[in-house]
Amino acid sequence: MFHPIVYLVVWTCQGALNAYFAQKRGRDPIIWFVIGLFIGLFGILALFLLPTLSKSEIEENEIELEVKPIQTPNYKSLQWFYLDVDHAQHGPVTYDMLQSNFNQDIITEDTYVWSEEMTDWQKVKDLDLFTTESE
C-alpha cells in the first residue's frame, strides 16, 4: 500500500498539470488546478474536450476593475493640530488659521500636523497642504 504522501504528491502533480494546460488553452488555471486535484486525469481529458478560447473570449471572461480617481481630502473642513519647534502641541485650529500661520512663518514645511482623518503626524510638505501663489 502507498504512503499518504505519495497520494498527495500525485494529486498535486495532476492539479499542476491541469493548471498548466488550462492556462495554455485560455482557461482559468486556479479553477482547473482544483478540478485536477479532485478528478485527476479526467480533468485533463475534460479540458482537452473543451474548445480553446480565443483572445477576445478570454478578455470577455476577465473581471473589469472599476478605476476610481484618488480623492484628495477636503482639508478646509478639518480641525488641525500642529507641533511647534519645541514639540508643543497647538490646536485645534481651522485650515484657514493653519494657512495663516504658514504664511506668517509660525509653521513651516517641516512642521508636523495632524487631523482626525490621519493615522499619524505628517510634515506639511508631505501633505501638500498649501498652494503657492504661482499655481
* 134 within domain boundaries: no
Q: Are residues 57 and 8 in the same domain?
A: yes
**pLDDT above 50: residue 133:** no
Establish if 16 belongs to a structural domain: yes
Same domain for 28 and 57?
Answer: yes
**For the segment 50-70, what is each residue's pLDDT rounded down to a tens digit?**
887 766 666 665 555 566 665
Q: Are 46 and 84 contained in the same domain?
A: no
Nearest to 46 by CA among 11, 22, 70: 22
Q: What is the pLDDT of residues 64-118, one digit of tens each?
A: 556 666 566 677 888 999 999 888 999 999 999 999 999 999 999 999 999 988 8
Query: Is residue 132 a part of any domain in this protein?
Result: no
Domains: count for the chain? 2
Spatial distance between the Cα atoms of 28 and 33, rounded to a whole number of angstroms: 9
Range of the domain at 81: 75-127
Distances 67 to 41, 56, 61, 70, 80 between C-alpha atoms, Å? 40, 21, 18, 9, 31
Whether residues 97 and 122 share a domain: the answer is yes
Q: What is the CATH number of the domain that holds 103?
A: 3.30.1490.40
